[in-house]
A and B are shown apart, each in its own frame.
Chain A
Amino acid sequence: MPDTGAEARAKLVRRVILDTSIAAVVVIGMGVARGVYSNELMLFNFVMFLALAQGLNIIYGFTGYLPFGYVGFYGAGAYGFSLVVMHLHASALVGMAAAAVAALVLAVILLPLLRLSGAYFAIASMAAAQAVYEVVANPDLENITKGPYGVSLSDVFAPAFSYYIALAILAFTLLLVVWLRNSRFGMSLQAIRDDSVSAAMAGVSVVRGRTIAWLLSALVAGLVGGVFAWHISVFYPDTAFDLNISIFATVFLLFGGATTLCGPLLGVFILYGIYNVIGIAVPQYFEFTYGALIVLLVLFLPNGLVSLLTNRGIRVP
């Protein structure tokens, strides 16, 4: 039987409720976990990667652009937060606003990168992140950025509060993805990803769509970078611009499956879980196990774990 308009609307409402419920379970679960598990830093890193993988999902899953230099926005956020707190003695919440602004400014500067595609875009974004790192870590700028010697933000150190702000950022990011998965705008982005020329011919503003997705994705990374700086309070430029952050977020996203809400969540919980279990218990086998998992995934499930279901026509939230 064909779907009627009313059935289609009811289906959409059910989808939104299901997606939002999943997002709520994850956020509340990570909030509760802090009360029952003592390794707060590990939990914080989980929250951070859950948000980063979804932030990357916004630009890669919905438009097809994979920025290897995603960490550049994260680093910009961390330093945006730090500079405002160090030099203006602003509160941490003002610092978070500065983190968002710093990432957005960098994203606007890097907008011309969207003229590139595929590997060229990926590499150019990585080079851009490296360039920002070189500026921040420049010893001649010690008076401003503290150069390679790192920043200390002990005045605003508040691990509990910053953890809950990280959860709020995660909630915001998950809701963004829920919106993109269930809105006209998200559909337009997926159309651009499938075939940008046909999308333009359908009246979709390709430039506007890509720009908004790029800015939203950068905003998420900037906020996560800002809350990282706040939570950790002492860090160095090579921590804030560590390329492994980009690599981890990318692998988690691809492992679970892009464009979905659950894919990146599964990717982080499984792979970062393994990273924390094997990497600590038997570190000598960690890299082998991790590498083997990724090779197996690329060979047999190139579209991520969720493709086990989507290939059978089952919709994954």
Chain B
Amino acid sequence: MRAAGIEAGYGRVQVLWGAGLDVREKESVVLLGANGAGKTTLLKVVVGLLPAWKGAVRLEPDDVTAWRTDKRVRRGMAYMSEIGVFPGLSIDENLRVGGQFIEKTALKRRMEELYAYFPDIAHRRGALAGSLSGGQRKMLGIAKALASSPRLLVMDEPSAGLSPLFVGQVIEVLSRFRESGLAMLIAEQNIAFLDLADRVFTLDGGRIRFEGSVAELEADDSLHRTYFGLA
């Protein structure tokens, strides 16, 4: 996936000023940025929830800039927002909706694979998603996003609202999917997610300020102070 020269915003308020990033096959990319930096806006443009005023989004080999979200999802992109689940549906139904456009037998097989990854929710398949704890909902949100066997998983602050214990569990689960070859784009403020990163982008004021490895990020004094809070 490659987003280049993205300008976008809400109404007359421009949030992104020529931002761009790319995620290669089987690569895990973390997008760091403070509140208001434009991370969610950039992800929304990538998945098609917000139109780009300028710039282009490609999901190789296609230019998907003008595509609707559901069409991008069908081409292999999955997105997990902070909410992530449908509270009025059961766990099983959430997964079925997540993989609703893939063939029935394939979906059934995929659901069993996912239940093996997430034993906590596997035991409560008939329970309403609204009755789950915050951590379980996050796990269900990830499982739902993965139900369609995407090539690229895009996540907006998967650590939001979670205790450090659950953040650790989320990172552990995601690292297993990373090892299986799933490409990921994770927008975060929590630097614990850098453990998952092959490459890092930082976003500030709607512009990409840095692109490189975690080691390069740590070596930059200014960025080190900003994101690691140390001199």
CA distance A184 to B103 in the complex (A): 12
Within the complex, what minimum Cβ distance (angstroms) separates B1 from chain A?
15
**B100 within 8 A of partner (CB):** yes
**B177 within 8 A of partner (CB):** no
Once A and B bind, how many residue pairs between them come within 8 Å at the CB atom?
Answer: 82
Per a CB cutoff under 8 Å, which of A187, A197, A205 touches B97?
A187
**A239 within 8 A of partner (CB):** no
Asked if residues A187 and B100 are in contact (CB atoms below 8 Å), the reply is: yes
**A195 within 8 A of partner (CB):** yes
Asked if residues B126 and A204 are in contact (CB atoms below 8 Å), the reply is: no
Give the residues in chain A near B93, CB-CB below 8 Å.
Answer: 187, 190
A2-B125 in contact given A187-B97, A197-B81, A201-B49 (Cβ < 8 Å): yes
Give the residues in chain A near B83, CB-CB below 8 Å.
Answer: 195, 198
Per a CB cutoff under 8 Å, which of A2, A8, A203 touches B70?
A203
**A194 within 8 A of partner (CB):** yes
**A191 within 8 A of partner (CB):** yes
**B92 within 8 A of partner (CB):** yes
The binding surface of chain A is classed by DSSP as: helix
CA distance A204 to B101 in the complex (A): 8
**B144 within 8 A of partner (CB):** yes
Give the residues in chain A near B47, CB-CB below 8 Å.
Answer: 201
Give the residues in chain A near B68, CB-CB below 8 Å.
Answer: 200, 205
A202-B98 in contact given A195-B86, A197-B81 (Cβ < 8 Å): yes
**A199 within 8 A of partner (CB):** yes
**A210 within 8 A of partner (CB):** no
Chain A minimum-CB-distance residue to B75: A203
A8-B125 in contact given A197-B81, A200-B69, A204-B97 (Cβ < 8 Å): yes
Asked if residues A201 and B88 are in contact (CB atoms below 8 Å), the reply is: no
CA distance A184 to B123 in the complex (A): 22
Give the residues in chain B near A191, CB-CB below 8 Å.
Answer: 86, 89, 94, 97
Give the residues in chain A near B147, CB-CB below 8 Å.
Answer: 202
Asked if residues A194 and B144 are in contact (CB atoms below 8 Å), the reply is: no
Asked if residues B86 and A199 are in contact (CB atoms below 8 Å), the reply is: yes
**B84 within 8 A of partner (CB):** yes
Asked if residues A2 and B115 are in contact (CB atoms below 8 Å), the reply is: yes
Chain B minimum-CB-distance residue to A197: B49
Asked if residues B84 and A198 are in contact (CB atoms below 8 Å), the reply is: yes
0/1 interface trace, chain B 51-95, chain A, CB 8 Å (1 if under): 000000000000000001110011000111101111111001110
Within the complex, what minimum Cβ distance (angstroms) separates A247 from chain B?
26
Within the complex, what minimum Cβ distance (angstroms) separates B202 from chain A?
25
Q: Which chain A residues numbered 170 to 196 have a C-beta less than 8 Å away from chain B?
A: 184, 187-188, 190-191, 193-195
Within the complex, what minimum Cβ distance (angstroms) separates B195 from chain A?
25
CA distance A292 to B111 in the complex (A): 48
**B112 within 8 A of partner (CB):** yes
**A5 within 8 A of partner (CB):** yes
Within the complex, what minimum Cβ distance (angstroms) separates A315 from chain B?
8
Per a CB cutoff under 8 Å, which of B81, B89, B115, B123 touches A201?
B81
Chain A minimum-CB-distance residue to B111: A5
Asked if residues A3 and B126 are in contact (CB atoms below 8 Å), the reply is: yes
Per a CB cutoff under 8 Å, which of B49, B73, B92 touches A202?
B73
**B28 within 8 A of partner (CB):** no
A8-B92 in contact given A187-B97, A204-B97 (Cβ < 8 Å): yes
**A66 within 8 A of partner (CB):** no
CA distance A191 to B89 in the complex (A): 7
Instruction: Identify the 5 closest CB pairs spanning chains A and B, nearest first.
Output: A203-B73, A194-B86, A201-B79, A200-B69, A191-B97
B residues with CB within 8 A of A: 47, 49, 68-70, 73-74, 78-81, 83-89, 92-94, 96-98, 100-101, 108, 111-112, 115, 122-123, 125-126, 144-145, 147-148
What are 27 A-B contacts defined by CB distance under 8 Å? A1-B123, A2-B125, A3-B92, A184-B100, A187-B89, A188-B97, A188-B100, A190-B93, A191-B86, A194-B86, A194-B88, A197-B81, A198-B81, A198-B84, A198-B85, A200-B69, A201-B79, A201-B81, A201-B145, A202-B98, A202-B145, A202-B147, A203-B73, A203-B101, A204-B100, A205-B70, A206-B70
